[in-house]
Amino acid sequence: MRTGRQATKAAIGLTAVATSLLAVAASVEGETAATIPSCQTAQLKAGHGFSSGAVGSLVTPLRLRNVSRGTCSLKGYPRVTLLTRHGHVIVRKVPRERGTVAHAVLLDPGRVAQAALRTSISSRTGNSRDCPRAMAVQIAPPHRKRSLRIKITLRVCQADADVGPLRAAPRH
């Protein structure tokens, strides 16, 4: 009997310690995110990953790499504009993906944040060749006016596209 009570007390004690440690860790993480400066456009280099297809759409990861010597943070959705080869606008401000929430991403030097760009590849005629072709993407970090341009080839049917929030990219 006594062993059972001791085990219960020990379990309660360990649970309390674990809960306290989690609270402290969350507090430290919150303070760290609050004290790390936002990434400036000049600290970032834009790029993209491989596109993957789904029913009627294509998803392309747009990437922002921290090329500075210090850690910075990003939170939110990038501002994305799709352009033709000659710089004419196909979609001026790609809307945000609905139902998603943005969280702060801490970028140590060399680390990457990415956002999913979804474009429709279903045309009204059923032939994606009828759709305009984006040959470049302008991407601006959240809350920044200056943007970066990357070369990319994407079909954009019915000017239908959206972009998700920035997330930490997986390490390779």
pLDDT tens track for 97-155: 999 999 999 999 999 999 999 998 876 666 566 788 899 999 999 999 999 999 999 88
- Predicted local confidence at residue 133, as pLDDT: 87
What average pLDDT does the segment 57-68 reach?
95
CATH: 2.60.40.10, 2.60.40.1760, 3.30.1490.20, 3.30.70.20. Which one for 41-168?
Answer: 2.60.40.10
Tell whether the model's pLDDT for residue 172 goes beyond 90: no
Tokens of 104: 């702060």
The domain locations on the chain are: 1-35, 41-168
Most confidently predicted of 5-9, 28-32, 116-120:
116-120
What predicted TM-score, i.e. pTM, was given to this entire model?
A: 0.76
Dihedral of alpha carbons 64, 68, 71, 74, sign: negative
Left, alpha or beta for 163 (phi > 0: left; psi -120 to 50: alpha)?
beta
In angstroms, the CA 65 to CA 50 distance is 16
On whether the CB atoms of residues 96 and 162 are closer than 8 A, the answer is: yes
pLDDT tens across 66-97, in order?
999 999 999 999 999 999 999 999 988 998 99
What was the pLDDT predicted at 136?
95
- Single out the residue of 83, 85, 69, 109 nearest to residue 161, CA to CA: 83
